[in-house]
Amino acid sequence: MDVTISPSRIDGRTRAPPSKSYTHRAILAAGYGGQATVLNPLVSADTKATMRAVDAFGGDTDLSADESSLSVSGFDGRPEVPADVVNCENSGTTMRLVTACAALGDGLTVLTGDDSLRSRPQGPLLDAVTDLGGRGESTRRNGQAPLVVGDAMDGGTVSIPGDVSSQYISALLMAGAVTDEGIDIELETELKSAPYVDITLELLDEFGVEAEQTADGFSVAGGQSYDPTGGEYEVPGDFSSISYLLAAGAIAAAEGESVVVEGARPSAQGDAAIVDIVRDMGADVTWDRDAGELTVSRATLTGTTVDVGDTPDLLPTIATLGAVADGDTVIENCEHVRYKETDRVSAMADELGKMGASVTEEQDRLTIHGGETDLVGATVEGRHDHRIVMSLAIAGLVAEGETTVTGAEHVDVSFPNFFDAIESLGVSVRRE
C-alpha cells in the first residue's frame, strides 16, 4: 500500500497504541506460567508472531473478539518441542525472546523469519545458549537465522556483549527464571538500549519473578514461577508510537490549537525521553502523568544533540524533527540502529534527502542540517520498516506538496491504526 500525505494543520485528541515491547514480554511471560490474562495488548504482526510461538510451545493464546484481552494457557515452565518450524516473520523481539525459551526444550526447535530478520545478528545469544548447556546454532554458521536451538539449557553463568542487542539479556533473564540453576549474566561491554532491560525487570516483577541488576550484569534465580497478581497484567501505552504523535503536534498543530495524546502512563520505557527531547527543541508540551495524557502545541523548533544509545527506536522521529528545526540536530551513538528492520541511519538520511533535507551520515552519527533544509514532497520508500514509514509520513505534514510513502502497510507491525489516528486529527491521507 502507498499512502500520500498532503500538508496539513492538525488538532484534537487521539490515543497511542499499547506498548509492543511490553506486549511481547507479557505474552511470553504468560506462556511460561500456567494461566494468565494480558489486558490491553498490542495486536500487530509482530506480537502475533509471539502468540504463535507460545502456541507452538504447547500453550494456547485466545484473543477476545474486541482484542482488548488475551487469555493465555501456558506451558508451565519448560516448552514442548514444536511440531513444525517457528516462523518469527519480521519480529526481532520474537526471535530473540523465543530463542532462549526454545533452548529450554528437550528436543530441537528451528526458528526462521523473513529476509530482513534472517540478516540480523543472533550469534552472541546462540553462544550464550551453548555456554549455558543448551544447543544454539545458525544453519548457515553466520550467526543469523534460520536457527536450531534446544537440548534443555541448564542455566549457570554466562558472559555476553551488551552493545549488540539488549534483547539477548532480556531473553536470558526470562528463560533463566524457570531453569534449575538460574542465570547470572556478566556483560563484556557497555549495555546499549538499557531501558529495554528495565522493561523486562519491571514486567518480571509484575509476574512474580525476582531478577536484579548486579555490579557486572544481571541475575535471575532459577526454580521460579510466572504468576501475575490476580492472574492479570495490563500493558501500558507505547512511547515509541507516541513519539510520532508528539512530533506531529510539535510541527503541524493548528494555530492556537493542540494535540492531546492519551495512553501516556509512566513506565520504564526509555522512549519516554521523547517528551524531554521535544521540549528541548522548543515545543510546548505538558504531561498529566495521573491521567496519562500529553498535550503538545506547534512551536518554532531549534536543533539539539541526542544520544540514542538507550533509545534507538527514536532515531527516525528525531531525524524528522531535525529536518523541520532551525540549526543542526545531531543524533549520536547510533551505530546499533543500523541493525534493525533496516539500516535506519542510512534509510532516514536517504529518504529525507529525497525530500530536500541536508543530511550528513557517519557510521555512529547522523546530522540533520535543518537550517539548510526546506522539505518538499516526494515519493519515498518505507523500506519495509514501520518506523521509517511513520516518520516520513510525519515529515509530509509540513513538506511543500504531496509526499507518497511506499510500503505503508508495514505500520501494522507496531501501530496498525496509525493512518486512521493521524487522519482523525485532520491529516489529509490518501491510500492507494
Per-residue pLDDT tens digits for 338-385: 989 899 999 999 999 999 999 999 999 999 999 999 999 999 999 999
Same domain, 13 and 36: no
Residue 202 burial class via C-beta count within 10 angstroms: exposed 0-12, middle 13-18, buried 19 and up: middle
Instruction: For residue 109, give its domain range.
Output: 20-234
Same domain (yes/no): 117, 225: yes
Catalytic annotation present for 46? no
Would you list the DSSP string of 32-43? HSSEEEEES---
The pLDDT score that the predictor gives to residue 257 is: 98
The verdict on whether residue 21 carries a ligand-binding annotation is yes
Do residues 144 and 230 share a domain? yes
Paired strand residues for 157: 184
188 and 72 fall within a common domain: yes
pLDDT tens, position by position, 165-221: 999 999 999 999 999 999 999 999 999 889 999 999 999 999 999 999 999 999 999
In the chain, how many domains are there? 2
414 annotated ligand binder: no
**Band of pLDDT at residue 153, cut at 50, 70 and 90:** very high
Domain check: are 206 and 288 in the same one?
Answer: no
**pTM (predicted TM-score):** 0.84
Confidence of residue 289 (pLDDT cuts 50, 70, 90): very high
CA triple 253-266-290, angle to 5 deg:
80
Residue 293 shares a structural domain with residue 144: no
Q: Quickly state the pLDDT bin for 244 (edges 50, 70, 90).
A: very high
User: pLDDT tens digit string along 46-91?
Assistant: 999 999 999 999 999 999 999 999 999 999 999 999 999 999 999 9
- From the list 313, 328, 385, 412, the catalytic residue is 313
CATH number for 335? 3.65.10.10
Same domain assignment for residues 10 and 143:
no
Backbone angles phi and psi of 172, in degrees to 5? -70, -35
C-alpha cell, 255: 494555530
Is position 213 annotated in a ligand binding site? no
Handedness of CA 43, 48, 54, 59 (dihedral sign): positive
- Say yes or no: 200 and 77 in one domain: yes
Same domain, 72 and 133: yes
180, 209, 234 — which closes off a domain?
Answer: 234
On whether both 200 and 269 belong to a single domain, the answer is no
Residues 242 and 226 occupy one common structural domain: no
Residue 259: helix, strand or coil by DSSP?
A: strand
8 annotated to bind ligand: no
